[in-house]
Amino acid sequence: MRSSAGQQPLKVAVAGLGTVGGGVVKLLQANAEALALRTGRGIAITAVSDRFRRDRGFSVDGYAWYDDAVAMTQQADADVVVELIGGAEGAARQVCEAAIARGRHVVTANKALIAHHGTALAAAAEGAGVVLAYEAAVAGAIPIIKALREGLVGNRRTRVFGILNGTCNYILTQMRESGREFETVLAEAQALGYAEADPGFDVDGIDAAHKLAILATVAFGCTLEFGALHIEGIRHVSPVDIAFAEELGYRIKLLGIASLTDGGVERRVHPCMLRRGAPVAHVEGVFNAVVAEGDFADRIVQEGRGAGERPTASAVVADIADIACGRHAPTFGIPVERLQALPALPMSRHRGCYYVRLMLLDQPGVLADVTAILRDDAVSMEAVLQRARAPGEAVPVVMTTHEAEEASMVQALRRIGELPSSVEPPRMIRIEPF
């Protein structure tokens, strides 16, 4: 059937009918008329692939069925292949490579694949004259790739940062509201389906790091270098830290931060303390938020659901609609061959303010020992909080610092941790002035 514009419908093959793949099929079925009106042509699913045949709550009648996603990519009648299998290797990578080799556009929600193999895939797509689209790979329904690549095209982008993992944001929100420990809230998140049985990908910062690597490349036109990121998760954040943060006027969030400086690109994922009035400090639960800064636009803030069937499907279909309309841009905003190999700034050179929590025996001269170490390592204290306990007992000592270099801060905490009076490893959270 031809569209009102006289064009053949855009033919789509969907590889992977899990949560997101099912959402894409349901969206394309439910909103077919609106999409045809908005794009000027129909969008028709012609083939689907999954390892298991079962009732998923939507019809696949009329679609060619394949058990093998790579075989579908090579054989099905399709203009676009949608890869929703997941993972950086295996079938997901093979599907994308096979689709591009056959001159078919690729749409994916696979942040790990793009973070690790995006450069090679983008070069192949550009060589084949097809689109590699991945809006859904970063921050779910938030159109941050389009904003950076198109909306801010006239700007020199200087920084992009945000809450990029809803699981971590949910856990930190619940810990703050309930005072419960990390492990307890993690178990709840797993029971609710917000965290996987093996949660390391989320809580250790890897998922957010994949997304940040992509954002940095699109924002700054630098080469895609996942190995250049500094990555920390949230396992070490305690209710004690969250309570002290509240007392000091801060919220703790896991952030991904990429900055373009005169010395190169800084890319880091770790827990941060933000003033409660900061642009993303109020974002709670499973929501994501991304902030982009440019020389003419100043600052834009986008907030929305970062994962799940419907938000991610919405972003996937937005990419399909762009292809239907003939809208396209280079994968990372500029041709792959023009991406710049900018220096990666090591975390040791980062400068900032810090929150530090020590657990020290309440003995004479202990605080003097701590301040002497900080002085020797060029770290200046801004404020100190101490809770009184019986002499000789362990007491939490919390301090904030003036701006210091990361290497000096790390060295000072190592030396403090070696003091006989230190009963726990010192904890450090970076304070960000956003």
| Residue positions annotated with a catalytic role | 211
Provide the H-helix boundaries in 272-424: 309-325, 366-376, 406-417
Contact by Cβ (8 Å): 226, 116: yes
- Specify whether the backbone of 196 is left (phi greater than 0), alpha (psi in -120 to 50) or beta: beta
CB 267 within 8 A of CB 212: yes
Please list the residues that pair with 265 across neighbouring strands. 260, 344
CA 151, CA 157: separation in Å to the nearest integer?
11
The answer to whether 110 and 103 are in contact (CB under 8 A) is: no
Cβ burial, residue 197 (10 Å; 0-12/13-18/19+): exposed
- Strand ranges inside 110-223, DSSP E: 132-133, 157-163
Q: How many angstroms separate the CA atoms of 162 and 64, rounded? A: 41
Q: How many angstroms separate the CA atoms of 332 and 108, rounded?
A: 14
* C-alpha neighbours within 13 Å on the C-beta side of residue 36: 19
CA distance 11 to 98: 17
Name the residue among 162, 359, 161, 353 with its Cα closest to residue 241.
359
Other CB atoms within a 10 A radius of the CB of residue 94 amount to 16
What backbone torsions phi and psi does residue 276 show, to the nearest 5 degrees? -60, -20
- List, as one string, the DSSP characters of 341-370: -PPBPPGGG-EEEEEEEEEEE--TTHHHHH
Q: Do residues 186 and 171 make contact, with C-beta atoms less than 8 angstroms apart?
A: yes
From its phi and psi, is residue 337 left (phi > 0), alpha (psi between -120 and 50) or beta?
A: alpha
Q: Determine the number of helices (DSSP H) and then strands (DSSP E) in the chain.
A: 14, 17
* Strand-pair partners of 6: none
The Cα–Cα gap between 170 and 168 comes to 5
Strand partners, 344: 265
Q: What is d(CA 41, CA 12) in angstroms, rounded to the nearest whole number?
A: 13
